[in-house]
Structure 1
């Protein structure tokens, strides 16, 4: 049996062991030990807890002071301080014992301006209490040697007859295919009153460099607390977060290099170069922060295999008059997820930071954090100073780019500075996805009505380049996208908008494959799209909207999605001109279906479409140009230019190689106010439209419509139309086609209320066939003359081969003014008895109708066949009669509407 003394002794021993382990932070042994390979001090254990590492414990060679340690660990409440002469420029230390270093206290130097290099090929770990107290830069590495100058090396393993170089360090050398890891741990969530006002983690002085170079690099459990944030637009976010930093170099430089192969990391022109070395993994997670913000933001250079930011951030904010630097991340894959952020904003006269993200694989921004902040990139300028800084630029290059779960890029100006260019280039696909949306939760209503207190900025993802309401002159930046395919879903959008004095930027999209935009999360602007917009109000004057250029192999817009350029003035404001929209597609364009959540009445649209508009006291609506192999508008889709005010509407120019199909309508909820509380159901028809709408008799003219195509098929209420409801002139319509087929209430029209109607010219080479359809010009009020309608080409005297009217109309009418003229040139003019060709006026002079065709007996060219046209019973056997005792066989047609077969389809 154990005696009482032995038990007591064992208890005391175990207590001492566990106490020592607790003091040593678990598995990390206590203390700093010299290995005796450098200098004359020999192998000694330095006394702690405040370890003094004097120059005589190492050896100085030129401006380099070398130290070599068997073990180097600093625990909580401990410190290690390097000292030496003022001639020292570089403190170069290595750890040779084969165990990783644990640093959870303060690492300091009293040598003014000296840089500290710390090498341990077995690994380096920084605890939550680790801190730096240096006046120079800090470089930590798990490299096997430090290259000095051009040819000399200082190895992490001692060698005989070692010569210590006087040259400065120039590269980090790795001999292992799996270099050891560097890790940094923060304190996590703290309360605001626990913050001492200083940055947390590892920090170097302003303008200095902090480098982490080794194998995998992990930064986790960043120090942060919750706070209340007052936004620029008087929005208060009660759940903002204050990140206190994991590694910080204000106005300086941070290098992070993760390597998974042997090689040499050179420092070329101040930034790391890994050549063709295999990259390791770099992870920053749990609200960790990499920060180079300062009077002029510094630089961040990251090189790795896989880079992951998980609920963390990279800040490069310019706070003063110096220009910002660059955030440059190059890796095999790049992932910002769960609310991670890159912030390159400028708040002073200095230019904001540029952001470069480059990968040969997949780049993703995805997910939201626990406060519902989506992953994002900020490039904004906030200063209202006379010479405020512009934002930096964004350059993303990858094989595939994916922004999902509402992730977005925000570039904007709140002052006089202008936005920088935003460029995204992908070898394959670029995809933007909005929030995960449950329509039964009416998410858009909660956001609009302010019932979601967490964050109102997560409605949809994409790219937003804005001039905000408080801007005093800056322009928003241009957006350029190049890829094979581009996908936008869940109301994800690409916007360039101005609600301030500046102009919105241009949007240029080049996709060699497909562009597809689907799925809306709410009415009107919640539908999302690609657009440049100006909006003014309450006496504000805003700039012009930029142009939109889209080039692709095919283009599909569904569910209310749109491409647009618009200028809007409300509440006494004044806005500039809308930009042009230029669509060039080598294949097919499909515009289909309405926004199932409806439309606001001022918008007038609920269907997918390509639109240019001007409203209120605005400038001219821009023109719309479209080229494609084929164009289809279905179920309420629209292609339009609109002026809702005194400005002129834009022109529509369409060049399609094969066919245009316009058909169908859909019922749409049209809300009576922006509160989205009351609505009516309206039927929206597919159409090509140029219109001008205003109660003012001095309103502008509507634009014109010019179409060149092989075949046009319009059906089920589809239309091509120009109109003016004010004093402006309705625009002309010109259709240069091979065949024009119109069925089921289709129309081509030009209508004016108080001015002259536009002219309609249809130059069809083959056939014009109208069934229950119409081609009309009309002036409803005033003394304006009805527009002329010309079928054929009067200049050449050549018309279509057939003009066929079946229960259809060609009319050029006016109310008070004179009727217009109808001029038809054709080889064959066929008209049913119920069809109408006229040019009339209720109070003015009748117009003229002139038809040039070999057969002018137009009233009898189409007839209905009688029921007994041909009785076949005399020649045909009747097997049905024999089987059923019926007196005769029958063929029944149970419909009262029959459409004739086009002549070209007859045998």
Structure 2
């Protein structure tokens, strides 16, 4: 598209090269007796310069209108052509009826203050040294005729004597030429002494087939400039204020500004007029400028506020602004007044190579607005050449700004287009660097893209610029308190938003004013992806969204709100609300999403940075699916004096994979200032939560203040795999409490060395871990733990090492589940390694608890000063296979107790249930079940290794207790009081049971309560069972008679049936049921028929059924009748 525009510019520029005016002013005879008359004279112009000139007199006067007509009209360089101005004439109309264009290379003037209309349908050229010396407005046109209401026309192509009634002001310009490939141009190269300038307050109008301002100047101070291009048939209305009315059906031509061309309108003493350009295509290239604004020449003081006019560009095909060209509406330094707007209406707008659309204020007054409507597309791309004075490059941009020393509000930027692209360092900017409010940026489109970086920003020491939309309040330079302005907002309504490769949407405050909010509504997708350039700290600059209270800022940051079905934050991109000043960071809200995806170190974060004073913002995500992969982060943190924000997630599915993190943190140097429980919380509601490959959900404190609670409600399941973690921690050097981790889910699964943990390594209490309403909890080579680490200190116990904490103030583990399974090295632990009690472990309402090569433990470390925690398991069935339940203390604190309440069975195989102490008293063990079964090398043990500590008591309550193999029940305290062992059971069975023995691994069941003072063993009297038992014979059943030599006879024939023991033989599956009545008796097969003892290879005679004997016994045998028949 850029190439097409340049081809058009080249053809327009070539047409004016090498032209010199030879003829001068030649009247025609179309006015009859009122023909124009020309005489030579030397005239001193209003500029004080005398020059040889043609003086034009005569003409046809109609009321206040004077009409002239010429065959040719040229003004050579250095000469002048002046129209006489009778006293009662207000408008002078000049037409050229010949076939040549007019070349004005010198001065065109009017002696009086009449307005001058100059018409040549063949084209008009103003050379480099051309100038105007008029007292009124000036209109130059290639129209065919000028219309005067309903009274008639003044035509150059059908020249006639003007009607006597043409006494009114002109109302329209008529074009009746068939559209041509190269319609007649108006070309301006005048650039000496303001070029073409009308007096202050007057209007300058250029209306041609094409209008080319090639290095020329157009000036109408306090007036207006109107430029239009028509290349077909049509009528253009001329309004009373000098503006044009273009019908929609008129085919337009092109307007081009090139080679540093300028057009300027200023408001020096009163309200400005506008600059309006209407064309098919409008182009500004090679540092060209369109400028309107409020100025203050010669340092004059104005007490009345002035108003700059507007810049209005209207094109039917394209507007192209490039190569450091500028369209600007300004309030200059020292001026008092408000800037006007820049209004652009076009199918396509391209702003490239450092070109700018700018509404600014450096004085006392507001900057204007920038309003762009494009039915096709808008592109801002790239940066311009390096400015030697600032050593910076200009960025292609639309901006509304109040500069330093300015006092006023920035304007707003409003863009409506199907496609918006801001590329390669270009930007949309609504800043206030002085005193006042920043402006809003509003975008309404179908596809909006911000992408890339470019150029050099020497002022801010950044290389390069990022493509962005920026609304900010900077430090004010007037007064001691800085800028007190309020925010400017950014709002984008689009189908697709893309912010790529280092581009950003930013609202910020550097002063005493709040930053603006950023609102994005993308009905299809919002994508933030990639990095570009570097931050001040040298890190890659991520694409994304930023709401910031910068260093020196004294108010709150704005919120970021995104509504979209698909949100993608990828490849290092960020959505960031932060504060480095004295104000709260903004919140981040994402709603209406089907999917939210963060990938490859992408981040959504709120932060209080180092030196900041204020609370971090909250993050609130509402989506069907949330996915974080490859180091993605969702975090709320503080490094300053303030609280970290909270994170709220509402989703169906949440997936974290490959080192991804959801976290809140009070970092090193940070100081929290809010009530307990209000900071740094993570609340996640979902159907399914999955963490894989070292992913984490964590809340921690590295500074002064508590970590936040972690609350997760998953209606389906929670899965942690491959070293993934959910943790709540007080880090070393921090002062504060770890908080509760609370999971509510039917299924919790931890696999592959994953962890669910609350811990402290600083000064503060470790938090609780609670899992509730679970159908099942599964741990495979993973851990659930609470811990006071080697540097952890619970403050209230620092000076009372022997004082026990209340149970509700410990770091406890509570598991509420129907099924708890620990496999392959899994652990549930509550430990203390320094000053503080270990937490309690409670499992309640479980149908089954199964441990396979796993551990449930509470421990007090070697250098700790706290008490051990208790372990309480409430279940129907407890199964331990090569597992351990342990409460141990290696320090002075008492070890914790172990309590197991099982409605049905406690069964252990090669497993231990133990309370151990290196020197202090060990805890008690209380087991209660219907049956307790110990197999293999299973021990129930309380033990004190040294010192005068007491061994814990062991109480076993069951209907029956069975111990096999090398299972032991012992309590030992070599230098102290041994604990008591109590069997609360009617039946205790111990294989090779040996009481009061201290041998180990002897394949015997041992029960021992030894110590300097041995404990008491209370066991049931089971002698009645032992006395009722008899040794069985070696052969309990006469199998020969039973199976080979006996049968069931229905007669009284005598026989024998021998069976001994306490049981019988059951009926085989599938056999008919035995008769409820006696069917016969057992009879021996006659001796002569009896077979010899059965030998291998002999046929097997199978029983035929089950028979009831007269005494009611059931026998499996065969019928004797059948045997005799055989």
TM-score, normalised to structure 1's length? 0.76
SS at match of 2:167: coil
2:288 is the counterpart of 1:314: no
Aligned match of 1:76: 77
Among 724, 738, 762, the alignment partner of 1:781 is 762
SS at match of 2:814: strand
2:507 is the counterpart of 1:535: no
Alpha-carbon spacing, 1:405–1:92, altered in 2? closer, same or farther (3 Å): farther
CA distance in 2, matches of 1:781, 1:217: 76
CA distance in 1, matches of 2:218, 2:620: 51
Moved beyond 6 Å, runs of 4+: 447-450, 861-865
Equivalent residues in 2 for 1:212-251, closer than 5 Å = 212-221=206-215, 246-251=217-222
CA distance in 2, matches of 1:129, 1:862: 104
CA distance in 2, matches of 1:612, 1:479: 20
Equivalent residues in 2 for 1:38-49, closer than 5 Å = 38=31, 40-42=33-35, 47=40
Aligned match of 2:394: 373
Per-residue Cα deviation, 1:176-215 (whole angstroms, up to 9, x for no partner): 4527343445489xxxxxxx8x54x333344433333333
2:556 is the counterpart of 1:544: yes
Among 482, 487, 491, the alignment partner of 2:493 is 482
Shift of 1:566: 0.9
Aligned match of 1:494: 505
2:15 is the counterpart of 1:33: no
Among 377, 394, 402, the alignment partner of 1:362 is 377
CA distance in 1, matches of 2:844, 2:225: 81
CA distance in 2, matches of 1:629, 1:39: 86
Per-residue Cα deviation, 1:410-440 (whole angstroms, up to 9, x for no partner): 32222212222222222x2222233369xxx
CA distance in 1, matches of 2:880, 2:465: 57
SS at match of 1:317: strand
SS at match of 2:851: helix
Alpha-carbon spacing, 1:259–1:479, altered in 2? closer, same or farther (3 Å): farther
SS at match of 1:363: strand
CA distance in 2, matches of 1:696, 1:513: 40
Instruction: Note if contact 2:606-2:618 (Cα within 8 Å) is conserved in structure 1.
Output: no
SS at match of 1:522: strand
Instruction: Note if contact 2:25-2:74 (Cα within 8 Å) is conserved in structure 1.
Output: yes
Shift of 1:832: 1.5
Instruction: Note if contact 2:126-2:190 (Cα within 8 Å) is conserved in structure 1.
Output: no
CA distance in 1, matches of 2:239, 2:777: 75
Instruction: Note if contact 1:250-1:293 (Cα within 8 Å) is conserved in structure 2.
Output: no
CA distance in 1, matches of 2:344, 2:66: 33
Q: Which moved more, 1:469-478 or 1:557-566?
A: 469-478
Shift of 1:585: 4.6
Instruction: Note if contact 1:646-1:694 (Cα within 8 Å) is conserved in structure 2.
Output: no
Among 715, 722, 730, the alignment partner of 1:744 is 722
CA distance in 2, matches of 1:488, 1:216: 38
Shift of 1:76: 2.2
CA distance in 2, matches of 1:755, 1:63: 90
Shift of 1:174: 2.9
Per-residue Cα deviation, 1:114-156 (whole angstroms, up to 9, x for no partner): 4333332222333222323334333333233334346754334
SS at match of 1:722: strand
Instruction: Note if contact 2:107-2:132 (Cα within 8 Å) is conserved in structure 1.
Output: yes
Equivalent residues in 2 for 1:219-298, closer than 5 Å = 219-221=213-215, 246-266=217-237, 271-277=243-249, 278-279=251-252, 280-295=280-295, 296-298=307-309
Shift of 1:549: 1.6
Instruction: Note if contact 1:220-1:288 (Cα within 8 Å) is conserved in structure 2.
Output: no
Per-residue Cα deviation, 1:611-632 (whole angstroms, up to 9, x for no partner): 4444424111111111223222
Equivalent residues in 2 for 1:514-525, closer than 5 Å = 514-524=525-535
Alpha-carbon spacing, 1:309–1:820, altered in 2? closer, same or farther (3 Å): same
CA distance in 1, matches of 2:780, 2:626: 26
Shift of 1:651: 1.1
CA distance in 2, matches of 1:248, 1:716: 69
Per-residue Cα deviation, 1:503-560 (whole angstroms, up to 9, x for no partner): 2222222221222222322344633421111222xxx453221111222232222232
Alpha-carbon spacing, 1:134–1:431, altered in 2? closer, same or farther (3 Å): farther
Shift of 1:97: 2.0
2:715 is the counterpart of 1:730: no
Aligned match of 2:137: 137
- The answer for unaligned runs of 5 or more in structure 2 is 1-15, 42-50, 253-279, 296-306, 387-392, 795-808, 853-878, 884-1126
2:523 is the counterpart of 1:512: yes
Instruction: Note if contact 1:132-1:204 (Cα within 8 Å) is conserved in structure 2.
Output: yes
Aligned match of 1:58: 59
CA distance in 1, matches of 2:84, 2:404: 43
2:441 is the counterpart of 1:422: yes
Aligned match of 1:208: 202
Instruction: Note if contact 2:642-2:671 (Cα within 8 Å) is conserved in structure 1.
Output: no
CA distance in 1, matches of 2:17, 2:221: 32
2:428 is the counterpart of 1:409: yes
Among 710, 734, 737, the alignment partner of 1:756 is 737
CA distance in 2, matches of 1:301, 1:566: 38
Aligned match of 2:1041: none
Alpha-carbon spacing, 1:74–1:544, altered in 2? closer, same or farther (3 Å): farther
CA distance in 1, matches of 2:370, 2:196: 23
Aligned match of 1:353: 368
Shift of 1:258: 3.1
CA distance in 1, matches of 2:309, 2:199: 12
Shift of 1:767: 4.7
Alpha-carbon spacing, 1:337–1:568, altered in 2? closer, same or farther (3 Å): same
Alpha-carbon spacing, 1:28–1:304, altered in 2? closer, same or farther (3 Å): farther
Alpha-carbon spacing, 1:383–1:807, altered in 2? closer, same or farther (3 Å): closer
Shift of 1:334: 1.8
Aligned match of 1:577: 584
2:575 is the counterpart of 1:563: yes
CA distance in 2, matches of 1:78, 1:547: 65
TM-score, normalised to structure 2's length? 0.62
CA distance in 2, matches of 1:352, 1:687: 44
Aligned match of 2:997: none
Instruction: Note if contact 2:349-2:378 (Cα within 8 Å) is conserved in structure 1.
Output: yes
Alpha-carbon spacing, 1:758–1:205, altered in 2? closer, same or farther (3 Å): farther
2:342 is the counterpart of 1:327: yes
Alpha-carbon spacing, 1:857–1:405, altered in 2? closer, same or farther (3 Å): closer
Aligned match of 1:554: 566
CA distance in 1, matches of 2:129, 2:515: 48
**CA RMSD, Structure 1 to Structure 2 (Å):** 3.1
Per-residue Cα deviation, 1:205-245 (whole angstroms, up to 9, x for no partner): 444333333333333346xxxxxxxxxxxxxxxxxxxxxxx
CA distance in 2, matches of 1:177, 1:659: 66
CA distance in 2, matches of 1:630, 1:554: 10
Instruction: Note if contact 2:338-2:366 (Cα within 8 Å) is conserved in structure 1.
Output: yes
CA distance in 2, matches of 1:303, 1:159: 32
Instruction: Note if contact 1:100-1:124 (Cα within 8 Å) is conserved in structure 2.
Output: yes
Alpha-carbon spacing, 1:816–1:529, altered in 2? closer, same or farther (3 Å): same
Shift of 1:731: 0.7
Shift of 1:734: 1.4
CA distance in 1, matches of 2:61, 2:345: 37
Aligned match of 2:636: 641
2:850 is the counterpart of 1:858: yes
CA distance in 2, matches of 1:210, 1:50: 25
Equivalent residues in 2 for 1:171-210, closer than 5 Å = 171-178=172-179, 180-186=183-189, 198-199=193-194, 201-210=195-204
CA distance in 1, matches of 2:151, 2:770: 85
Per-residue Cα deviation, 1:375-424 (whole angstroms, up to 9, x for no partner): 22332113647xx2222222222221222231122322222122222222
SS at match of 1:369: strand
Alpha-carbon spacing, 1:822–1:591, altered in 2? closer, same or farther (3 Å): same
Aligned match of 2:1060: none
Equivalent residues in 2 for 1:442-457, closer than 5 Å = none
Query: Which structure has the larger Rg?
Result: 2
Instruction: Note if contact 1:661-1:712 (Cα within 8 Å) is conserved in structure 2.
Output: yes
CA distance in 1, matches of 2:671, 2:381: 52
Per-residue Cα deviation, 1:7-35 (whole angstroms, up to 9, x for no partner): xxxxxxxxxxxxxxxx9953655212223
Q: How many residues align?
A: 746
Per-residue Cα deviation, 1:322-355 (whole angstroms, up to 9, x for no partner): 2222222222322222222222211222222222
Aligned match of 1:693: 667
